[in-house]
Amino acid sequence: MALGVPKLKLRRKSSPKKQLLEQLGIKEIDFGERPAYLEEYMRKISEELGETPELVDKPSSELKRARKFNVVYPVGGGVFIHAYTPKDPLEAFNIYGVIEPPRPDAKLLRLIDEALAIIISEEHTPRSAEEKKALLLTLIDEVITPVDEGPDYGELLEKGVTVTKVPVKRDEIDYLKYHVVRDKVGVGVLEPFLRDPYLEDITCNGAGPIYVVHKIFGNMKSTAGFKTHDELDDFIVKLGEKIGKPISHARPVIDATLPDGSRINIVYGKDVSLFGSNFTIRRVAKIPISVTQLINWGTFDEKIAAYMWMMLREGMSVFICGETASGKTTSLNAIAAFIKPTAKIVTIEDTAEVVLPHPNWTRELTRDTGRPETSVTMFDLLRAALRQRPNYIIVGEIRGAEGNIAFQAMQTGHPVMATFHAADLTRLIQRLTNPPISVPKTNMDSLNIAWFQSAVYTKTGLLARRVIAINEIIGYDPASDGIAAIPVFTWDPVEDRFIFAGKGASYLLEEKIGTMRGLTKREMKIIYDELEMRAAYLRELVNRKIFEYPKVFKAIVYADRVGIETALKRIRQGQLDF
């Protein structure tokens, strides 16, 4: 049994989806807290494992350190996830078991399809995914008749008679609704995965099981997947049509956004993928992770956060760099809350991942039609952004020629934040100064801060994200034909702590911010005192467990409105409640 895990609660807050359905006068599917199919699953798996899974509301973060675990938790819509260590010690992967409501008879589903096709009309034009779900649930109620015993659906089909009122057993109605909505409006077999907030990545490498990266349990093999290549190909073609990105052998590779905002990359067919079609989904949180949460997790400390608070308030340009899955976008979303709340911000992305709390926010996405004359690239949007007079431009990920435009934007007084693939300062400069970006070395000082982040193993042996260095770019040194930079913060892997270079070490704090504020060399202590106060304020928020992104943003806005010294004093006195 897992220890220190909260038990499943009987009452939960109403979800946004449920509120919408209630507004439309539609009752959401109610499976109960422990439906019969879950009880049956628990009984069978207990016999198989020799141990009963523990039913919990959510998996505890303490389970990250557990060598063995066996928990079941709900993800909504009657779907449960069973995360467990397999009984066979030779099995390399821990198991991600998907527990869904039982699938109704295929003949019944066919009859429902025929009945829905008859009553649906042009009047039914829902605008959003939630409205589509709500409409479909209403139409299902119109075409079914609850009965105590279900008929022989095969016999009804053989008669060839059009059935407008399909008899369905009362105890199967909720199951029917789940699967019809899952397949018609949702994403089919992927629905349970997209419901789980603890997943980071979802991967299908061809026919066989789907693999996931879990925030608590790491890499896992799921019990769901595709039996044949044909089944997988058919699923991918239908998914492409649903998300408005048709895929074919002529256009086998696409990047797209799923209805929940997650990023998906699809490679179709055996001619370009030897193991058959594959896809990878990167989950995107609808509400970003806050600065205080990342401080609490140890991604960076409060002094780094306070430093970025001061830098972004003064319009410094920042590149957040690292390898794939190092948490670059998560950190960008978190520290973007430090930008002035009144700032006009333009974000430019291939897929929508940046989420901001600022009201004056213009959000732009590229468009890939497969034809240059109708496609809209990052380069096009970044060039257009320069005419929109933004206070900040945020680029989801710089890869090519748009990088040169970003530097032109910085030179004309438009601060830029962006993510960038580079493991360290040397590689960052190499990529920026060589084709296709080709920024002249003499222009490198337009970029103020290079932030480097990585997925590392800490001293506890756990894989975690850490900011490994923050460098201030001073400028081009003609004597060495190199770029002068100062490492202001570094990470000590032995102690798992962050080291600040100390007072007098920051060129930006003293020569940029200090100068803008009219401070003399003797008065520079004021800058470092402010840094300490902002760090102390953020630490107070962490200690009080203020982790929700909107609350943290309010706390940041409040501190800037009344002054950091006053805000720190009031929060220590317990006068603030966000």
Q: What are phi and psi of 561, to 5 degrees?
A: -75, -45
Q: Which of 3-12, 73-82, 183-192 has the lowest mean pLDDT?
A: 3-12
Q: What DSSP letter does each residue of 78-91 carry, written as one string?
A: TEEEEEE--S-TT-
CATH number of 291-504: 3.40.50.300
Instruction: Judge contact between 56 and 6, C-beta under 8 A.
Output: yes
What spatial distance separates the first Cα and last Cα of the chain, rounded to whole Å? 37
Based on C-alpha coordinates, what's the Rg of the chain? 27
* pLDDT at residue 235 tops 60: yes
**394 and 346 Cβ atoms separated by less than 8 Å:** yes
pLDDT at 484: 94
- What CATH topology corresponds to 198-284? Beta-Lactamase (3.30.450)
Query: Which of 60-64, 122-126, 266-270, 346-350 shows the lowest mean pLDDT across its residues?
Result: 122-126
DSSP characters over 313-377: HTT--EEEEESTTSSHHHHHHHHGGGS-TT--EEEEESS-------SSEEEEE-B--SSTTT-B-
14 vs 68: which has the higher pLDDT: 68
Q: What is the mean pLDDT of residues 104-122?
A: 88
pLDDT at 31 (0 to 100): 62
User: Cis omega (within 30 of 0) on the bond before 16?
Assistant: no
Is residue 32's pLDDT more than 80? Answer: no
pLDDT category at 421 given cuts 50, 70, 90 is very high
Average pLDDT of 273-284?
Answer: 92
Of the chain, the percentage scoring pLDDT greater than 70 comes to 93
Q: Give tens-digit pLDDT for 446-469.
A: 999 999 999 998 887 788 999 999
| Model confidence band, residue 10 (pLDDT cutoffs 50, 70, 90) | very low
| Residues 304/467, Cβ–Cβ less than 8 Å | yes
Is 84:94 a contact under the CB 8 Å cutoff?
yes
> HSE on the CB side for 204, CA within 13 Å?
30
Q: E-strand spans in 268-308?
A: 278-282
pLDDT for residue 1 is more than 50: no
The domains of the chain are located at: 1-19+26-99, 106-188, 198-284, 291-504
The model's pTM is 0.79
Share of the chain above pLDDT 90, in %: 69
More confident residue, 25 or 444: 444
Mean pLDDT over the full length of the chain: 89
**Statement: residue 27 has pLDDT above 50:** no
pLDDT at site 7: 38
